[in-house]
Chains A and B, each alone.
Chain A
Amino acid sequence: MQYLDLIYQSWDELAEINLYTGIFVLDEPVQIEDKSPMNNQVNNQVNNQVNNQVNNLMNKQFVRNQTTGEK
């Protein structure tokens, strides 16, 4: 039963990953790309900000894991 629960948890987590990644089970809708230069500029700006934030946080987490040995 515990084994079944672990298998279920792995599928459930995969469903979460699909949700956060935007992977559809059926018929992925057509993505409309916005080609306007203004939007691209805004996107790049936001992307850079987010990447920096995520990298900083992950670096901190990595340091903490190394220190505490926690997974």
Chain B
Amino acid sequence: MNLKIIISLFYLLLSTLVTPVVYAKHWTLQSSVAQAMIVSPELRQSSAKIGKRNADLQLSEMWPDPNISLKVDNQVGLDTGTGDYALSEISISQDIPLSRIKFQKSVAQAQLSAAVHEKSNDTLVLQNRVEKVFYELQLATSIYNLAIQQVKFADRYNEPSLKNNQGSVVRYLTPLEKMRLSIIREKAHQAESAAEGKLQETRTKFYKLLIIEADDNLTVPELLPLETIPVLGELRARQVNHPVLSTQQQTLQAAMNEIDLARSSVMKDPSISLNRLRENFSSGTESVYGIMFNIEIPIHDRKSSVVSKASYNASQQRIELGHLKYGLEMNLKRSFMHLNHVTEQAEDYKKKVLAPATKILALSKQGFASGELNILSLVDANNTYF
């Protein structure tokens, strides 16, 4: 008997230990952004682009490899009468990109810098996406909680028999009043279902963005009103260092460096060659050494066309920079005005609608319970509050 009790207790203890405890994961904006940044494919792509530009910079500093030519023929053999084939000429040549390397490097440096700023901008865009989905999730959670509150309120008045405490007033409800209360309850349940559906939809969006497992127990902080509004002047001052502008500035810089590169690359790089030749002389076969310098003769004027093309590209980038600055400034002003408007509206709504509606609902509940108010007052208070 005692053994059976001990075994039962053991299994009970074991089952308690083995049963997984479900912890609700609490997500903050910062933790959500951090998670998104870890898993984001866009940021990985940006990092790969930086790596590519870094490799381009290393390549831009490298000189071209030298060439070696070997010539085998029977010229010497024919002269000596043997007719044998032998190595008759060796030539080593090297292109000299003296002016080109410097400009090539400056273009690559600007392109690398642009890639770094582009990654910053991609990070900013990603963080913005997470911010928006996070606030949406906060809203959906708050609406769902409000819907639950509404259901509790409606269910309370639809209970078949209210507790008949001593001294309390027991109301007789007419069939019409009962129908009205029933409608309130059904509407509350409909609202709860809709809110739950929206919450699930927003959660799915959140899981997808953060690439996490679906978790019905996740929680987010309560959606609270904005406490402070930033100052426009400070925002405008910060906007100067916006990563999208820095990216475009570096792209423009690269385009301007390309003009210099185009000027220096119009002609083919000069080259120098060293060669050794086997020749037959009266004294016998001797090696002849020589040095040769090659340079292109610019007969056709390609320079102006190539430089003009690079200049137009730089001009295009300059216009794009102006366009981006203008767009950012206008968008900032518009959003700032809208933010002020919405914040004021929320404060007004809280003072002029929400506070009186809360009070009316509480008083209506009391009035209905005491029999002073009829069902219509309660219905009206319910509709105003929720």
Chain B 275-301: CB-based contact to A (< 8 A → 1; otherwise 0): 000000000000000000000000000
Tell me the smallest distance from the CB of B45 to a CB of chain A, in Å.
16
Whether a CB of chain A sits under 8 angstroms from the CB of B96 is no
Q: Are A15 and B131 in contact (CB under 8 A)?
A: yes
List residues of A (7-48) whose CB comes within 8 Å of B's CBs. Answer: 7-27, 29, 31-32, 34, 36, 38-39, 42-43, 46-47
Most buried by A among B139, B238, B341: B139
Contact flag A18-B128 (CB < 8 Å), given A25-B30, A42-B252: yes
User: In the bound complex, what is the Cα–Cα distance between A63 and B325 (angstroms)?
Assistant: 23
User: In the bound complex, what is the Cα–Cα distance between A9 and B349 (angstroms)?
Assistant: 14
Which residues on the A side are within 8 Å of B123 (C-beta)? 24, 29
Tell me the smallest distance from the CB of B249 to a CB of chain A, in Å.
6
Whether a CB of chain A sits under 8 angstroms from the CB of B318 is yes
User: In the bound complex, what is the Cα–Cα distance between A16 and B185 (angstroms)?
Assistant: 39
Q: Are A4 and B146 in contact (CB under 8 A)?
A: yes
The contact of A8 among B116, B223, B349, by CB within 8 Å, is: B223
Tell me the smallest distance from the CB of B126 to a CB of chain A, in Å.
10
Chain B 225-255: CB-based contact to A (< 8 A → 1; otherwise 0): 1100010000100110111101001101100
Q: Are B132 and A15 in contact (CB under 8 A)?
A: yes
Q: Are B124 and A19 in contact (CB under 8 A)?
A: yes
Tell me the smallest distance from the CB of B77 to a CB of chain A, in Å.
62
Q: Are B37 and A4 in contact (CB under 8 A)?
A: no
Tell me the smallest distance from the CB of A13 to a CB of chain B, in Å.
4
User: In the bound complex, what is the Cα–Cα distance between A2 and B357 (angstroms)?
Assistant: 13
**How many chain A residues touch the partner (CB < 8 A)?**
45
**How many chain B residues touch the partner (CB < 8 A)?**
68
Q: Are B226 and A50 in contact (CB under 8 A)?
A: no
Q: Are B318 and A46 in contact (CB under 8 A)?
A: yes
Which residues on the A side are within 8 Å of B345 (C-beta)? 6
Whether a CB of chain A sits under 8 angstroms from the CB of B353 is yes
Q: Are A34 and B250 in contact (CB under 8 A)?
A: yes
Whether a CB of chain A sits under 8 angstroms from the CB of B142 is yes
User: In the bound complex, what is the Cα–Cα distance between A43 and B330 (angstroms)?
Assistant: 18
The contact of A54 among B138, B250, B330, by CB within 8 Å, is: B330
Tell me the smallest distance from the CB of B193 to a CB of chain A, in Å.
15
Q: Are A39 and B253 in contact (CB under 8 A)?
A: yes
Whether a CB of chain A sits under 8 angstroms from the CB of B368 is no
User: In the bound complex, what is the Cα–Cα distance between A70 and B108 (angstroms)?
Assistant: 50
User: In the bound complex, what is the Cα–Cα distance between A57 and B329 (angstroms)?
Assistant: 11
User: In the bound complex, what is the Cα–Cα distance between A2 and B33 (angstroms)?
Assistant: 28
List residues of B (257-312) whose CB comes within 8 Å of A's CBs. Answer: none
User: In the bound complex, what is the Cα–Cα distance between A8 and B226 (angstroms)?
Assistant: 9
User: In the bound complex, what is the Cα–Cα distance between A31 and B117 (angstroms)?
Assistant: 7
Q: Are A25 and B339 in contact (CB under 8 A)?
A: no
Residue of A nearest to B29 (CB): A25
Tell me the smallest distance from the CB of A31 to a CB of chain B, in Å.
5
Whether a CB of chain A sits under 8 angstroms from the CB of B136 is yes
Tell me the smallest distance from the CB of A60 to a CB of chain B, in Å.
12
Whether a CB of chain A sits under 8 angstroms from the CB of B338 is yes
Most buried by B among A10, A20, A36, A42: A20
Which residues on the A side are within 8 Å of B318 (C-beta)? 42, 46
Which residues on the B side are within 8 Å of A66 (C-beta)? none
Additional pairs, 11, CB under 8 Å, beyond known A12-B135, A34-B246: A10-B226, A11-B138, A12-B136, A16-B331, A21-B235, A22-B244, A24-B123, A29-B119, A29-B123, A29-B243, A42-B321
Interface residues of B (CB under 8 A from A): 29-30, 33-34, 37, 113, 116-117, 119-120, 123-125, 127-128, 130-132, 135-136, 138-139, 142-143, 146, 223-226, 230, 235, 238-239, 241-244, 246, 249-250, 252-253, 256, 318, 321-322, 325-326, 328-333, 335-336, 338-339, 341-343, 345-346, 349-350, 353-354, 386
18 contacts between A and B (CB under 8 A): A3-B354, A4-B143, A6-B346, A10-B343, A21-B239, A22-B238, A22-B242, A22-B243, A25-B29, A25-B130, A26-B34, A26-B37, A29-B116, A29-B243, A34-B253, A38-B256, A46-B325, A50-B329
